Amino acid sequence: MTTHKTPITLLGLGSMGRALAGAWLAAGHPVTVWNRSAGKAPEGATLAASAAEAVAANRLVVACLLDDASVEAVLDRTDLSGRDLINLTTNTPAEGRKRAEWAAGRGARFLDGGVMATPAMIATPAAFILYSGVAEVFDEHRDALAAVADPQFAGTDPGHAALLDVALLSAMSGLFGGLVHAFALTEGEVPPREFAPMLAGLMAALAQATTHGIAERLATGDHTTNVESSLAMQDVASGTLLRTAAERGVSTELIEPYLALMARRVAEGHGAEESSGLVGGLTPASR
Ligand code: NAP
Q: What average pLDDT does this structure show over 51-79?
A: 97
pLDDT at 285: 77
C-alpha 123 – ligand 1 centre gap (Å)? 18
To test ligand 1's pocket by mutation, which of 9, 20, 66, 122 has the most ligand atoms within 8 angstroms of CB? 66
Residue pLDDT, tens place only, 107-163: 999 999 999 999 999 999 999 999 999 999 999 999 999 999 999 999 999 999 999
- Give the up-direction half-sphere exposure of residue 143: CA atoms within 13 A in the CB hemisphere: 9
Q: pLDDT confidence of 4, banded at 50, 70, 90?
A: confident
pTM, entire model:
0.92
Instruction: For ligand 1, atom 4, name the residue with the nearest CA.
Output: 14
Q: What average pLDDT does this structure show over 225-244?
A: 97
Q: Which atom of ligand 1 is nearest to the CA of 114?
A: 44
C-alpha to C-alpha distance for 23 and 254, rounded to whole angstroms: 37
To test ligand 1's pocket by mutation, which of 11, 13, 16 has the most ligand atoms within 8 angstroms of CB? 16
| Choice between 284 and 3, residue whose per-residue pLDDT is larger | 284
**Would the pLDDT of 245 be above 80?**
yes
C-alpha to C-alpha distance for 248 and 45, rounded to whole angstroms: 55
C-alpha 95 – ligand 1 centre gap (Å)? 16
C-alpha 74 – ligand 1 centre gap (Å)? 12
187-286: CATH topology is N-(1-d-carboxylethyl)-l-norvaline Dehydrogenase; domain 2 (1.10.1040)
Q: pLDDT confidence of 286, banded at 50, 70, 90?
A: low
8-157: CATH topology is Rossmann fold (3.40.50)
Indicate where the chain has its CATH 3.40.50.720 domain(s): 8-157
What sign does the CA torsion over 77, 78, 82, 84 have? negative
**Would the pLDDT of 82 be above 90?**
yes
Indicate where the chain has its CATH 1.10.1040.10 domain(s): 187-286
Pocket of ligand 1 (CB under 6 A): 12-17, 35-37, 40, 64-67, 70, 73-74, 89-90, 115, 118-119
